[in-house]
Structure 1
Amino acid sequence: GVVRWNHSWLEFSFSETCLGIEVPSCLRRDASSLLDPMECADTAEEQRVHSPPASLVPRIHVVLAQKLQHINPLLPACLNKEESKTFVSGFMSELSPVRAELLGFLTHALLGDSLAAEYLILHLISTVYTRRDVLPLGKFTVNLSGCPRNSTFTEHLYRIIQHLVPASFRLQMTIENMNHLKFIPHKDYTANRLVSGLLQLPSNTSLVIDETLLEQGQLDTPGVHNVTALSNLITWQKVDYDFSYHQMEFPCNINVFITSEGRSLLPADCQIHLQPQLTPPNMEEYMDSLLSAVLPSVLNKFRIYLTLLRFLDYSISDEITKAVEEDFVEMRKNDPQSITADDLHQLLIVARFLSLSAGQTTLSRERWLRAKQLESLRRTRLQQQKCVNGNEL
């Protein structure tokens, strides 16, 4: 007899011969009839679903499986083990020059905008580290507005991100795609299987939503549902699977980066308006030369940097917590309208990832002041844009 476990992607098969177990012949027939799902299939279509061809669903035979912390092959599989500490401590000792090189690289990719590059680094190392009730803590969705519309800039920017992260996906947000693509998985009761959707992505995938391709048009009912699914993913880090008669929530951990001309239609934790300092005559040649100029060894350091920092523990001491509270009260005294509780939360998130980006696992006074400076520059830039384009904010 053969024991099979069928899944929408994988089928695991074990036999008594490969395990070295002798099964009596009188038991083999009974075990096979109990465990083989083909015996219970009602229709030919359902049989094809249970046993798809290997070209559609590859077979992987597994004897031992271990869940990985990450999928970056450049790092040890388990960062908590004793033998991995040497690798981690060695890389942390050279973190500062790696960060400086990555900042310069992303600044060139963002057409000379170093402030946008700072926020892109914070976004790329962000991750949901815990959930408080239904609120996912650690997500940092960034909306890069001000992207040129009739340009290949966003496409090539995605290529840059694609070279830095282990998993990524670019969603071209057009009216046609929003109305016709399947964003959330749904159950096909005829075939008795779950049909996958675009948002069924691996954990820590970088999802780049290109809103610069969106033009005037009418969203139909599926399009509205798809926009709602994207909003739920961004806000709550969850995907609702559609079982027709009910919805089932599945938590996820997806880094969402939105490129748009004006402010995005989707919710975002942070909006940074792009201010290009240069205009390449040929965008493709410029981005290609940028990638070719980076040594493979340096590119690998960038990849290690962005993965490793997600697993660092972070804390805020009582002393710094008190100083932050006093600072917040003082800012409210000077101008009550300038900062709210949500603004403080945003500052703390920026300060968290700013500290981690420098390899610091606790918040310092210096990093707190730097976070305030970055947020001030970002807000000033948005206010300036509002004067130019009134509907920007």
Structure 2
Amino acid sequence: MVGLSFEATPDPVAASHHAIHQAGATVSSALSALQVPPLSAIPFIDSPTARPGRWAQCLAMVQDIWDAELFVASSPEGDSGLLVENAAATNDTRAKLSERLPVYLVSPPGEAAWIREARNPSCLYPTPNPSANSSRTKRTREDRDATEDQSMQEAPSATAPGTPAANGAASSSEATTDKRPRPSAQGDGKNGSVGLGLNHPVLGQAGAFAVVAKLYDATAGRELKVNTLVRVVGILQEAMPVASGNDAFAEEFAARNPEIVKRLHVVQMRGAEEWEINPATAALVANGGQQALAEARQELKAVLPGVRDMLIKYLSSALCDDTVAAEYLLMCLLSRPAQRTEGGDAIGKLSLNLVVPKEVSDSQPDFSSQLSKAIENVVNAVVPVELSIASLNARELYPKKDYTLNRLKAAPLQLAGGAVLLADETRLSNGHLAERGLRNVRALSSLAKQCTAPLDFQYYETEILVQCCPVFVSKGSKSIIPADVVVRIKPDTGLKLQKWDSYNEDLLRKMRLAMALLTEQGEFDISEGASKAVENEYVAARKSGQAKDGQATLQSWLALARCCSRSFGEAVLTPERWSHARQLEAKRAERDRR
């Protein structure tokens, strides 16, 4: 390993199988004994350098959690199903059984193209040449001969990537005797299990991947929740062929064992933070830890006025050069639900309804799609959803349990932390909403108000938390979904701004980093001066009858002021930021009166 400054277990499958057969060994101790390479040296599962039987990683969202499965941890014959797909079935009563939890992971829904492109596909970790029987399995001479023949055909080396030696196969059923072509995890799902394909929340998402993670930590499995963003490091394996059948059990088994999706046997799994998605902030932490992230936020303050102005101009160019609407959109994109009240309301989020003038929508039918692309250039993920009578009645926008397949069917409202939901209502017309359409509207309303979405188990419903930024684009009038703020777009024909699609990559990188650093962090306070200003204005509004909703009006004012402060990189509301937020509201109200 010349030139490498780290040590790692070169053949983790063989090492784990050796460790599990030692006296007193457990699955936990066998996995803990493995030396994991640094993240910078581990390829992502969708990288061309990722190989079966080798270290791989992914940053993904938990789409579904399945029932635990049994496998043979160790047996007198030396077989083991640890870190491999073959469960090493045996009739020997002395064999030790264990459980692992399959977790269905998908790439963050709506993941921006610039994030996929920034992902480094190269791996610094060399692939050694493990012995063909390193996994301590007993195979027949015919199996070995067939494996060696195929290895010679595929590559000049007997340990070419993808062969059983590289896979760390545990038995003859893992050998590459199955010569059928295997679709990759990036496949379109047409040959997938029982019509679900990748079962990704965003249909047709470019570069989307899915993987079945096999979790050996029971405690971590109990704490895992749907929609959680996780960082996983483990051993990549191919799916095993599934025997065909026509009965209901065979259909369910095929759905729970999709051949188009690879497996990742988990050695390490932890909850991931939003900053890990952005390559720039991830690099900061990798080089200097969390302190580097805090220092970067402090350094940003010195240049923030210019960067903030650039962000507003950039967003304005996608909003008919409307700087007021752009400022509200910026605040929405930076907002996150940081706390929840006893009533379930989310504090820190800001849902936004952008009302496009009818003449603009008619002359620019692609207004929403262009806005979606502009936003995607500076945020981690955007999920566009078209809202029409037909689309609302056609499919559920929320995840729903399919008891025939025993899987959770993915839906657009399954969103990872920080994703922007851009709901386009500009094609919405008069019509009849069926029961499904009405439930979709209620689900969108819940998302806008509380940042939650229903999880439909048919016999009952529960809610999942969704850390997203809801933006609703309507034509001529307010959205059918009540939002925190409604902004009527007012085109500024006299302002000739640089168009969003002409910004160079250097400027885009600066704006992406600024967006990541300015995002809501959870801690917020109100200065004494701002508190006095808020009190005075609220008392005056109550006396004049402008604060008709009482406490709700005050809460909406404070929510907007909080988001305004965040857009200036501040975690304390000052009189200056309070005044700025109130001036914005005055401009917005003037548009409503017109």
Shorter-chain TM-score above 0.5: yes
Identify the match of residue 21 of structure 1 among 6, 12, 19. 19
Q: State the secondary structure of the residue aligned to 2:480.
A: coil
Deviation at 1:66, TM superposition (A): 3.4
Match of 1:190 in 2: 404
Residue 350 of structure 1 is matched in structure 2 by 560
Name the structure 1 match of 2:262.
58
1:119 is aligned to: 328
TM score, norm. by length of structure 2:
0.56
CA shift in 2, pair 1:295/1:247, >3 Å: same
Q: How far 1:190 moved relative to its partner? A: 1.8
User: Equivalents in 1 of 2:494, 2:438: separation in Å?
Assistant: 36
**Is 2:466 the partner of 1:252?**
yes
**Residue deviations 1:254-274 (CA, integer Å, cap 9, x gap):** 211011111111110000101
Residue 329 in structure 1 maps to residue 329 in structure 2? no
Q: Which residue of structure 2 aligns with residue 215 of structure 1?
A: 429
Q: Which runs of 5+ in 1 are unaligned?
A: 1-13, 281-285, 385-393
Structure 1 residues 19 and 132: CA distance shift in structure 2, 3 A: farther
- Over 3 Å counting, the alpha-carbon distance change for 1:122 and 1:36 in structure 2 is closer
Offset of 1:325 from its aligned partner?
A: 1.0
Q: For residues 36 and 224 of structure 1, what CA distance do their matches in structure 2 show?
A: 36
Q: Is the 8 A contact 2:383 2:412 kept in 1?
A: no
Q: How high is the sequence identity, in percent, across the aligned residues? A: 31
Structure 2 match to 1:149: 361
| 1:34 shift after superposition | 6.2
1:186/1:241 contact within 8 Å kept:
yes
DSSP-derived class of the 1:66 partner: strand
Q: Distance in 2 between matches of 1:330 and 1:291?
A: 42
For the pair shown, the structure with the greater C-alpha radius of gyration is 2
1:34–1:379 Cα change, 3 Å: closer
1:343–1:80 CA distance, 2 compared to 1 (3 A): farther
Which runs of no fewer than 5 residues in structure 2 stay unpaired?
A: 1-11, 22-73, 81-89, 103-241
Q: Which residue of 2 aligns with 1:160?
A: 374
Inter-partner Cα distance in structure 1 for 2:326 and 2:510: 17
| 2:353 alignment partner, SS class | strand
Q: 1:246 offset after TM fit, Å? A: 1.0
The match for 1:361 is 571
* Deviation sequence 1:249-305 (CA, Å, 0-9, x none): 11111211011111111110000101112399xxxxx99x72343121211121122
Rounded Cα–Cα distance in structure 1 between residues aligned with 2:281 and 2:324:
29
Aligned-partner SS, 1:277? coil
| TM-fit CA distance, 1:80 | 7.0
Match of 1:75 in 2: 281
The aligned counterpart of 1:108 is: 317
SS class of match (2:487): strand
CA distance 1:244–1:363, shift in 2 (3 Å): same
Distance 1:104 1:131 in 2: 33
How far, CA to CA, are the matches of 2:339 and 2:514 in structure 1? 21
Summarize deviations over 1:182-205 as a string: whole Å, max 9, x none: 212111222222211221111221
- TM-aligned CA deviation for residue 91 of structure 1: 2.7
SS in 2 for 1:65: strand
3-state SS in 2 of match to 1:213: coil
Which structure: greater helix fraction? 1
* Equivalent residues, number: 360
In the aligned structure 1, how far is the partner of 2:311 from the partner of 2:99?
57
1:300-325 superposed Cα distances (whole Å, 9 cap, x missing partner): 12112222212443211344323311
Q: Quote the RMSD (CA, aligned, Å).
A: 2.8
Is the CA contact 2:372–2:384 (under 8 Å) kept in the aligned structure 1? yes
